[in-house]
Amino acid sequence: MEGSKSPQGDLILRTLAMPADTNPAGDIFGGWIMSQMDIAGGIRAREVTGARIVTVAVESITFIKPVRVGDVVCCYGDVVRIGTTSVTINLEVWVKPSMNSASAAGNKFQVTRAAFTYVAVDDDGKKKVIQR
């Protein structure tokens, strides 16, 4: 299953895939990629809501291609729904391959996508209406 030809949404987060982030096969661990997506989505959700937010759902996470050590991991996000207390953000991860990679033609490619939903909460952790 191939992704889109260019990132959808705004660039929210960039980081470098490091050796400590690998799985036993030597590729970057999917859970690490998912955590980067959650960080990026949390940043965007906070910007949109102006409130403390918590992650409540991740829908249809799809891992398209592996990420390698040295790849620059870029998380893009697009707000698709703002409800009374929640916001849903489509997130995509694209990578710029490392210079040592066989696929290092300088072209970035999509590796993961998912929809993350966040809920605004008050200081007691109870749902809070998003002020627009």
Span 10-121: which CATH code? 3.10.129.10
- 4 pLDDT tier (thresholds 50, 70, 90): low
101, with CB counted inside 10 A (0-12, 13-18, 19+), is middle
Question: 106: phi > 0 → left, psi -120 to 50 → alpha, else beta; which?
Answer: left
Q: Kindly state the tokens that stand for 84.
A: 């009374």
Distance linking the first and last C-alpha atoms of the chain? 37
Residue 35 scores a pLDDT above 70: yes
The model's confidence at residue 1, banded by pLDDT at 50, 70 and 90, is: very low
- From CA 46, how far away is CA 41, in angstroms rounded? 8
Residue 3 has pLDDT above 60, yes or no: no
Cross-strand bridge partners of residue 112? 63, 93
pLDDT at 2 over 70: no
pLDDT tens-place string over residues 56-107: 999 999 999 999 999 999 999 999 999 999 999 999 999 999 876 555 556 8
What is the pTM (predicted TM-score) of this model? 0.91
Average pLDDT value for residue range 32-54? 97
